[in-house]
Structure 1
Amino acid sequence: MTGTELVGIVNITADSFSDGGKFLSTEAAIAQGEKLLSEGADWLDLGAESSNPDGQRVDSATEIARLAPVVQHFKKLGAQVAVDTHKAAVMRAVLDLGADLINDITALVDPQAARVLVDYPTVPVVLMFARNRAPRAEKQVQPYHDLIPEIQTFFTQRLAALTAQGLARERFILDPGMGFFLGSNPEPSLWVLKHLGALHHLGQPLYVSTSRKSFIGTILGKPPGERAIGTLVSEIWALNQGVAYIRTHEISALAQARQLWMAIEQVR
């Protein structure tokens, strides 16, 4: 658990499900990113298009315009910057600006995106599993008892396909998806959290983001802005399962939890 890195979310969007519009301006996005870094974030994850079921579609030019000045600012500071996008043109633009990681919720299903990544052979890539293959979550109740084999099969096939396109397997980090990406009912997300250990057999680092997700709200009866405690509990669970990265809106509490856990582990 001690090697888990914390990834702070900066949504440069008008309609993200929990903070849409708050950080849409360059100034607000930079201020939020600096806050997360000061609280202990190891990475910033910048996204300029919402993936929530009701989110607006954003073209590549708009996405790049939102992202570019923020990426440039944080690279000048020496921060580690991930960019959440599924568009090949956006990937190339932010990688040219020095972005350190690409986080693709569609798992590089666009062949053009895979071709872009061939030109940046040292950049790691997060591949996310989702029940639907579109770049949007869906509001649909889903079964869950066969979900772990489904995720394992998906990643096994994607890794084989991408390595055949010239992308080294060691570049890939796997995100099993959460919330509406798995189902509008809470059980799929809970099931994946309970069985995260089974995904280690894929041999790749795991990347988990439960932050403010719908399943937490359903269980606790809380809106997105009141899910901090539930989020933290799910994140500590993921820490204990040895995931490599946790992506979250609220770094401070999780950074403190990680620090204390490490102190308990290390005392002799």
Structure 2
Amino acid sequence: MKPYHDAHVHLQSFPEAMLPEVMARARAAGVVRFGCCGTSPADWDRVIAIASSEPGVEPSCGLHPWHSADPAVPEDWLERLEALLAAHPGLGVGEIGLDALRPDLQAQMRAFAAQLALAARGNRGVVLHCVRAHGEMAAALRPVAKSLPSILLHAASCSPEIWREYERLGACVSLGPAVLNPRATRVRELARIVPEDRLLFETDSPDMAVNGCAVSALGGRNAPENLPRIIAEVRRLRNPES
């Protein structure tokens, strides 16, 4: 069985008692690498703890744009993130980014720029979330892209023209459960056109909904074990005659 890499997952969001089963089922399905992203100071320590106890887990920590104006986030969150990065040389920066469907885009942009600068100074890869703010995101990336060892746009959904801008910046994309939806035309077009060396796959589990995947065994949650289904659909889209 070919080993698989789930490029974007939130293992810390599974109930702690369930995680051993989640990991066992994932490995039985051939998933052996997991890009596990934190979203706020509330879950960063758990992300790091999981990475230290579970083989193949590659951790990143960052302030998700949904939390950029959250009053529950401590004011010194950036200093805390900087300290974590100093303490853990293998730690990436993510999940960070911009979401124009949220009302606080200016606060998001400030948090995003600060985290990009931190990643560039520390030579850390970034994992990006972007919804309807690709112009702003590309503008923020341009000054620092060459200082970032990796740029991953997760759950990518954009036009071919926008993708080409990310490609020029050195980014990769990961495609997730949306590719299973026949109506997700932009995602499915990306599956066809993104070069193989820029293409990764993800489940974004446990919260991302999945079309046509069996999740009942894990209480209705998406999980890394579904990754082979996503990969198979991308392969089918890239090679429709095979």
- Normalising by structure 1, we get a TM-score of 0.51
Instruction: State the one-letter code of the partner of 2:92.
Output: L
State the match for 1:245 in structure 2: 200
Establish whether residue 96 from structure 1 lines up as the match of residue 87 from structure 2. yes
Q: 1:187-228: per-residue Cα shift (whole Å, max 9, x none)? A: xx5xx256565345534223245535xxxxxxxxxxxxxxx9
Instruction: State the one-letter code of the partner of 1:7.
Output: A
Whether the 8 Å CA contact 1:206–1:244 is kept in 2: the answer is: yes
- Normalising by structure 2, we get a TM-score of 0.55
- In structure 2, distance between residues paired with 1:38 and 1:253: 14
- In structure 2, distance between residues paired with 1:115 and 1:82: 19
Whether the 8 Å CA contact 1:9–1:45 is kept in 2: the answer is: yes
Q: Map 1:1-268; keep pairs closer than 5 Å.
A: 6-13=6-13, 23-25=14-16, 27-41=17-31, 43-49=33-39, 60=41, 62-74=42-54, 77=55, 79-83=56-60, 85-86=62-63, 88=78, 89-90=80-81, 92-93=83-84, 96-97=87-88, 99-106=90-97, 109-110=110-111, 113-114=115-116, 116-118=118-120, 120-121=122-123, 123-131=124-132, 151=134, 153-162=135-144, 168-175=146-153, 189=157, 192=158, 197-211=163-177, 229-230=180-181, 237-242=189-194, 243-248=198-203, 249=205, 250-257=226-233
- In structure 1, distance between residues paired with 2:50 and 2:82: 15
- In structure 2, distance between residues paired with 1:6 and 1:159: 24
- In structure 2, distance between residues paired with 1:161 and 1:238: 25
Give the secondary structure class of the aligned counterpart of 1:106. strand
Answer 1 or 2: which has greater strand percent.
Answer: 2
Whether the 8 Å CA contact 2:119–2:125 is kept in 1: the answer is: no
Whether the 8 Å CA contact 1:83–1:94 is kept in 2: the answer is: no
Q: Tell me the CA shift for residue 69 of structure 1.
A: 1.8
Q: 1:125-161: per-residue Cα shift (whole Å, max 9, x none)? A: 1233334xxxxxxxxxxxxxxxxxx62x424421244
Q: 1:61-113: per-residue Cα shift (whole Å, max 9, x none)? A: x3233223211113xx2x15142522532464367345453323326843653
Instruction: Let me know the Cα RMSD of the aligned residues.
Output: 4.2
Whether the 8 Å CA contact 2:47–2:59 is kept in 1: the answer is: no
Whether the 8 Å CA contact 1:10–1:44 is kept in 2: the answer is: no
Q: 1:163-208: per-residue Cα shift (whole Å, max 9, x none)? A: 6xxxx44524252766xxxxxxxxxx5xx25656534553422324
Query: CA separation of 1:66/1:247 partners in 2, compared to 1, >3 Å: closer, same or farther?
Result: same
